């Protein structure tokens, strides 16, 4: 049966279903449409479905024209999961957050799987792209699928292929980023490779779904640990009166054995603050305590408090306290040049400052209004970054270094700048490194 499915995938007559139309699912949908597949997009958020049906985009770096072009090629957005019976491949791109105890929350994956189960059929492939701990595909998805009388590897094919999207990065696209894929059986892997090889330039097969799951965790833990090191080095360098960004730039001139990572006010996004804890949780099942990973997490999680302490000291030196002061947060996206605020340290900084009595506002050219978030709430809109705006605040806190900010204007007009990103290399009376 896998030969028939592979032929349909290779001939691009298979219909693709993508579940979860966010920062991962939407670019993937566009790529499948681009090469000629018919795609059905599933999302439980009716507002997203309505926007896509109207040819609108809700992600900044994806233009509305791309959505309209996809619709012209046969893309259908829907909230009706029964349409899953019409597809030959299902790709799950749903969130995997942490719960309040910093343990894996698989509710989105499992609820989505349960909603799809009645519509699974023989001769289809299901791929999970959501980052998770090793064993999820085999231990959670496979038994649920086989409870419907479908034998994985014979009737239906199950793979794990972690997403590797980097929103806002102009150098890498869905097509050009290599795709790791692991299958529950050799037949599953063969189908999984066929699913992706028509839309991704390089598919990297691995021996199992567990290996693919751990690959994704290693990638993000690598970043978390190195960012934690950079953040700790920043605090040490600050005590010594040394600019850590100057040191990193100098070290990066070494053509071997060094990769530059940069400090900041914390870590954000849907991967790096979350994924390491998926492995630390799973490692406990094997009697392992991942001290190195957890230490990096502790350092990175402490950075918002470090920034607030630097801001408080700077205000105090100007005979002001945080309480009653006005603070303009520059950038609330989790990284520069994107509109994504998930797990953004800027939001944590805003909450901490508000709780300490500061009057908080923000300016972000990519986020015009503070979005609805599960754990955070501000009734704010972005204020324009102008001379008069900067002058009316006691402090400007540079949390996200968007390219669209006028840094010379900030340097000249803000009474006090707390620089978390090393954008101001020259010393100045109103610039404080944090």
Q: Pairing relation of β-strands 76-78 and 38-42?
A: parallel
Alpha helices in 11-84 (DSSP H): 25-35, 46-53, 64-72
Helix axes 345-355, 291-316, angle to 10 degrees: 50
Note whether 323 and 355 are within 8 A (CB). Answer: no
Q: How many whole angstroms separate alpha carbon 206 and alpha carbon 189?
A: 8
Note whether 399 and 423 are within 8 A (CB). Answer: no
Give the DSSP H/E element, type plus range, for residue 314.
Answer: helix 291-316
- Residue from 72, 168, 156, 165 nearest 117 by CA: 156
DSSP calls for 395-414:
EEEE-S--TTS-HHHHHHH-
271 as an active site residue: the answer is yes
Q: How many whole angstroms separate alpha carbon 28 and alpha carbon 175?
A: 9
What Å distances lie between residue 297 and 190, 272, 280, CA to CA? 37, 9, 11
Give the DSSP H/E element, type plus range, for residue 229.
Answer: helix 209-240
* Catalytically annotated residue among 93, 181, 188, 271: 271
Q: Residues 157, 158, 160, 163: what is their CA dihedral angle, to the nearest 10 degrees? A: 70
- Residue from 405, 241, 266, 412 nearest 344 by CA: 266
Residues across the chain:
434
Which residues are tagged catalytic? 271
């Amino acid at each position: 049966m896998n030969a028939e499915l592979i032929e349909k995938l290779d001939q691009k007559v298979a219909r693709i279903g993508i579940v979860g139309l966010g920062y991962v699912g939407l670019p993937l949908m566009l790529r499948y449409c681009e090469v000629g597949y018919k795609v059905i997009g599933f999302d439980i958020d009716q507002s997203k479905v309505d926007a896509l049906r109207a040819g609108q985009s809700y992600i900044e770096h994806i233009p509305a024209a791309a959505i309209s072009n996809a619709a012209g090629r046969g893309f259908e957005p829907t909230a009706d999961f029964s349409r899953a019976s019409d597809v030959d491949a299902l790709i799950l791109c749903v969130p995997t957050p942490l719960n309040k105890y910093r343990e894996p929350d698989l509710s989105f994956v499992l609820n989505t799987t349960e909603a799809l189960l009645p519509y699974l059929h023989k001769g289809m492939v299901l791929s999970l792209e959501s980052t998770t701990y090793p064993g999820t595909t085999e231990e959670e998805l496979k038994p649920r699928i086989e409870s419907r009388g479908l034998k994985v590897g014979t009737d239906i094919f199950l793979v794990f292929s972690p997403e590797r999207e980097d929103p806002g990065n102009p150098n890498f696209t869905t097509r050009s980023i290599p795709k790791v894929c692991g299958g529950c059986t050799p037949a599953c892997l063969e189908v999984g490779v066929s699913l992706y090889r028509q839309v991704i330039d390089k598919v990297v097969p691995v021996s199992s779904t567990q290996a693919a799951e751990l690959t994704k965790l290693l990638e993000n833990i690598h970043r978390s640990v190195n960012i934690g090191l950079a953040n700790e080095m920043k605090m040490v360098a600050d005590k010594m009166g040394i600019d850590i960004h100057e040191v990193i730039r100098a070290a990066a001139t070494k053509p071997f054995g060094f990769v530059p990572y940069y400090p900041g006010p914390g870590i954000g996004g849907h991967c790096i603050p979350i994924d390491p804890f998926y492995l630390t949780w799973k490692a406990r099942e094997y009697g392992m305590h991942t001290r190195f990973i957890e230490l990096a997490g502790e350092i990175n999680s402490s950075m918002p408090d470090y920034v607030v302490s630097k801001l408080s000291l700077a205000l105090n030196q100007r005979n002001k306290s945080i309480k009653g002061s006005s603070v303009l947060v520059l950038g609330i996206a989790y990284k520069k040049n994107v509109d994504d605020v998930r797990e953004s340290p800027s939001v944590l900084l805003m909450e901490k400052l508000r709780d300490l009595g500061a009057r908080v506002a923000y300016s972000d050219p990519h986020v015009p209004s503070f979005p609805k978030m599960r754990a955070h709430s501000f009734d704010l809109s972005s204020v324009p970054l102008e001379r008069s705006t900067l002058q009316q605040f006691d402090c400007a806190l540079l949390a996200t270094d968007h390219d669209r900010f006028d840094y010379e204007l900030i340097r000249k007009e803000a009474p006090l700048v707390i620089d978390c990103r090393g954008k101001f290399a020259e010393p100045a009376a109103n610039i404080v490194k944090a």
